[in-house]
Structure 1
Amino acid sequence: MMRFPLSAIALAAVFAAAPVCAATLISTPGAPDPGPFSGQRAVVTFDAPNAAGFTWASMPAVRTGTRQGTAAAPAGVANMFGFVSGSNNRPGVARLNTRALRSLSLYWGSVDAYNSVRLFGQSGNLLASFSGSQLPFSNGDQLLARTNRRVGFVAAPNAFIHAVEFRSTGVAFEFDTIAANAVPEPASWLMLIAGFGMVGAVARRREQRATGLAAAVAA
């Protein structure tokens, strides 16, 4: 899938324009799903096991295809997708515990004002809450490209996302292909630092050999 870039300048502009909040909402123009934003990878697809470190504390309902009065498949999605519902004896809330994240995105189907996403920090504190009414064209029409869109949430510089909650007080909130940009684990940082150290050591040895060879030739 095509990746939608998140430039540093664009993010800075979003933060500057947004009210004081620990996360900011961004979105693509509409369907088809452009896929994860730049720097993100898919962690929940509903067609395979979740990526390591991403577990459901409370599960959404899952299905394929549209069923009138139950859930509508997000535009262009022919495989499994998740949904929560305020009716039909389906779960109205689903919560995904995550690794420490800088950003998270999902393909939001048939955007409705009565659906919302909540983001939580490490201690369970609410970072931010966003509803479908904050997106353009939140009329719930599953057939319109503009009401199906990749929606992203970017943590403020001093915050990290540790859980995301999907809520619906209406017929359904459908979503697919959750993607994330995770903060490297301490072990990963150590490996990265060690790698830089090895690269530096190799470069120094090469420089020393080149200097010794040059001195021998000059002699």
Structure 2
Amino acid sequence: MCKLFSAPKFLAIGSIMLASAMSPSFAANISFGGVAASDGSGLTSQYMDPITGATVAGNYLIETFDAATGVPGFPGSTEYTKAGFENECAVNSINSSLLGVSVTADPTQIGIRKGSVKSVAAAPAGDNTCYGYLTNNGSGVATAVFDYTPMLAFFDNMYSDQAPFGITYLGFYWGSVDTYNSFKFYSGEQLVSSITGVELLAALQGSTGDQTSASSNTYVNIDFSLQEQFDKLVITTSGIAGEFDNLVVGITGQPIGQVSVPAPSAILLFALGMVGIGYTRAKRK
């Protein structure tokens, strides 16, 4: 049976409103805090159990970077998995399904692994599972793009009366936050909002690169308005490194002339099973 979180405590320490440089009418509500993950991966969204894929409310999908949480028949990609972790780590949202998420990055700058390696990557505090990281390898700026438009297009085509579908929530566990890390959110080519390491550390009074403190290892929750319809995440770093885990997205449709509605549960259940980042989970050995 799927295990739901019971009365999860949201450990929000504070919130900030970050307006897009493109349009002052766009703003995202950003807060900090999550719940202890049931799989030993540190923190996760209050909406999602990383092992069972069970949600507390609404329609949410999770990327854990753990191969064990993929769906048989649609194995995740090990393109970015570091040597020695091929049987444990994968990007489950990259697969042969039309519902897959498009991830674009230089393979030498992005990695999926377990554990910490000095001058390479540090696992987020309390995270004993697979996680993702981005590094500039000592020079320049490294970029990774998580593009959710293929999945959203599927919903738009199947339920045109509720289109456009968009991502109105995104959460992620940000480990050992550094001043040179940033997460940017786009609707198409338009920048909707962003959060930088400088802003997070200032809000929580944290120290850059601290690998254990709750003020620099925290779950970030971003709620977007319907007008934003977020569909693409761009992660950048100009140092070593930016670490993240338990990416959770919430999908919402906007019927013309009506209030927002969640994605139809039957088709979302199918979608989650197809892309391997939702309800049906393989049991860990």
Normalising by the residue count of structure 2, what TM-score does the alignment of the two structures yield? 0.55
Please tell me the root mean square deviation across aligned C-alpha atoms, in Å. Answer: 3.5
Identity %: 26
The partner residue of 1:45 within 46, 58, 64 is 64
The partner residue of 2:117 within 67, 77, 88 is 67
User: Separation in 2 of the partners of 1:180 and 1:106?
Assistant: 9
Give secondary structure in 2 for the equivalent of 1:77. coil
What's the counterpart of residue 77 of structure 1? 127
Q: CA contact under 8 A between 2:18 and 2:30: conserved in structure 1?
A: no
Deviation at 1:152, TM superposition (A): 1.5
What's the counterpart of residue 170 of structure 1? 239
Confirm or deny that 1:36 pairs with 2:45. yes
The partner residue of 2:167 within 88, 101, 124 is 101
Q: CA contact under 8 A between 2:34 and 2:45: conserved in structure 1?
A: no
User: Separation in 2 of the partners of 1:87 and 1:140?
Assistant: 16
Confirm or deny that 1:25 pairs with 2:30. yes
What's the counterpart of residue 57 of structure 1? 104
Give secondary structure in 2 for the equivalent of 1:167. strand
Deviation at 1:62, TM superposition (A): 1.2
What's the counterpart of residue 179 of structure 1? 248
Normalising by the residue count of structure 1, what TM-score does the alignment of the two structures yield? 0.70
Q: CA contact under 8 A between 2:176 and 2:216: conserved in structure 1?
A: yes
What are structure 1's unaligned runs of at least 5 residues? 193-219
Deviation at 1:166, TM superposition (A): 0.8
Question: What amino acid is the match of 2:211?
Answer: Q
Change (3 A) 1:191 1:82: closer
What's the counterpart of residue 206 of structure 1? none
Change (3 A) 1:63 1:89: farther
Moved more, 86-95 or 56-65: 86-95
Computing the radius of gyration from Cα coordinates, the structure with the larger value is 1
Alignment map for 1:131-150 (pairs within 5 Å) = 131-135=196-200, 136=204, 137-150=206-219
Q: CA contact under 8 A between 1:30 and 1:147: conserved in structure 2?
A: no
Confirm or deny that 1:124 pairs with 2:189. yes
Deviation at 1:139, TM superposition (A): 1.5
Question: What amino acid is the match of 1:152?
Answer: N
Moved more, 85-94 or 163-172: 85-94
User: Separation in 1 of the partners of 2:239 and 2:35?
Assistant: 22
Question: What amino acid is the match of 1:44?
Answer: E
Deviation at 1:65, TM superposition (A): 0.4
Aligned length: 185
Deviation at 1:18, TM superposition (A): 5.5
Question: What amino acid is the match of 2:65?
Answer: F
Q: Give the structure with the larger helix fraction.
A: 1
Give secondary structure in 2 for the equivalent of 1:180. strand
User: Separation in 2 of the partners of 1:68 and 1:14?
Assistant: 32
Change (3 A) 1:191 1:28: closer
Deviation at 1:43, TM superposition (A): 2.3
User: Separation in 2 of the partners of 1:155 and 1:181?
Assistant: 10
What's the counterpart of residue 275 of structure 2? none
Q: CA contact under 8 A between 1:22 and 1:155: conserved in structure 2?
A: yes
Question: What amino acid is the match of 1:61?
Answer: G
User: Separation in 1 of the partners of 2:115 and 2:102?
Assistant: 24
Give secondary structure in 2 for the equivalent of 1:134. helix
User: Separation in 2 of the partners of 1:74 and 1:34?
Assistant: 9
